[in-house]
Copies of this chain bind each other. A is one copy, B any other.
Amino acid sequence: MNYQPIMQGIFEEMQKEAPLGTVATYIPELADINPDQFGIALLDVDGTHYAMGDSEKRFSAQSVAKVFALSLALRHAPDEVWKRVGVEPSGDPFNSLGLLEVEAGRPRNPLVNAGAIVVSDILLSVCDNPLDELLAFVRAMAGAQDIAIDEAVAASELQTAHRNRAHAHFMRSFGNIHNDVEEVIGVYVRICAIAMSCSELARAFAFLANQGRSLPPSFRLDARAIRRINALMLTCGFYDEAGEFAFSVGLPGKSGVGGGIAAVCPDRYSVATWSPRLTKGGNSYLGTRALARLTTLSDSSIF
């Protein structure tokens, strides 16, 4: 299938959309970004690459990168991951710490902050240098050796990560964080501060569309892990708008407050969008619209 006309059509439609939503403002590095940018990149499973708009500009991957951390942890220590993190949607945005309290410090899933913090803790325990290894993994998949952590973003995040520290200390009180909290938060925040472009994200997510075939040999994951990640992205990838995204787009994916979304249509393509204005639920407004158009025009919703 030739996705070029669809991509072209989506790009043109998005130019006409009203500038709805607001950029994240909790750190200056996100607040100061030009909100009116839009990029999209798609890689089909045959390797053809399509891109439009600001598809090559790097932005802060933020929570999209939780998928890489989870993948790496599943490569090293799948049993440890599922012993310490659940697989169910959290569905309770107002009360995440209360929920942790009831569930004895075990986060609902690895894509909410608490879960990704436990994943970071596991990486600290099993990797010699988790950030180096994660970057190697991402660079190999994205085909770009200069992908890096934006240290200015990480520094700002560290100044405002009070709630994440609260989660980590709280889970530590239940024995579900094994390393020093400040070190764990340091890894977690740096993972989220990776800067990537839409084209790089589309390439880096390709393994979730092609049953893992594109994974570098040293990062192989079995079919079960791939399916688990996709199922988790579908049910838990979009904060408290996961159900809405499952309906409107119909693809497993993960969003970040930097305005990025990466998603996959199994056996067809991986795709990434970027546009900084966010819905109330914290997901890219234009990105969600664009992906909804994509699955409609290419008839590729999984539902």
Contact = CB atoms under 8 A, between A and B. Distances in A.
A241 interface: yes
Given A227-B301, A234-B234, A91 B88 contact: yes
Identify the interface centre among A90, A108, A246, A301: most chain B CB within 10 Å of its CB. A246
Given A97-B97, A234-B303, A303-B227, A244 B87 contact: yes
Contact of A228 (B102, B173, B247): B247
A244 B252 CA distance: 15
Interface residues of A, number: 51
**Chain A, interface SS category:** helix
A91 B94 contact: no
A108 B91 contact: yes
Contacts of A302: 266, 302-303
A108 B100 CA distance: 20
A160 B180 CA distance: 13
Nearest to A86: B243
Contacts of A95: 98, 101-102
Contact of A235 (B165, B242, B301): B242
A167 interface: yes
Count copies of this chain in the complex: 4
A231 interface: yes
B91 A92 contact: yes
Contacts of A87: 243-244, 247
Interface string A213-257: 000000000000011101110111000111110110010100000
Interface in A163-208: 163, 165-170, 172-173, 181
A99 B92 contact: yes
A162 interface: yes
A108 B242 CA distance: 12
Contacts of A94: 101-102
A166 B236 CA distance: 25
A84 to B, nearest CB: 15
A86 B165 CA distance: 24
Nearest to A99: B92
A166 B162 contact: no
10 contacts: A88-B240, A90-B91, A92-B99, A94-B102, A97-B170, A165-B165, A166-B166, A166-B167, A166-B170, A228-B247
Given A165-B169, A234-B246, 19 more contacts: A88-B242, A89-B89, A92-B92, A95-B98, A95-B102, A97-B98, A97-B166, A97-B170, A98-B99, A165-B165, A166-B168, A166-B170, A226-B303, A227-B303, A231-B246, A231-B247, A232-B243, A235-B243, A266-B302
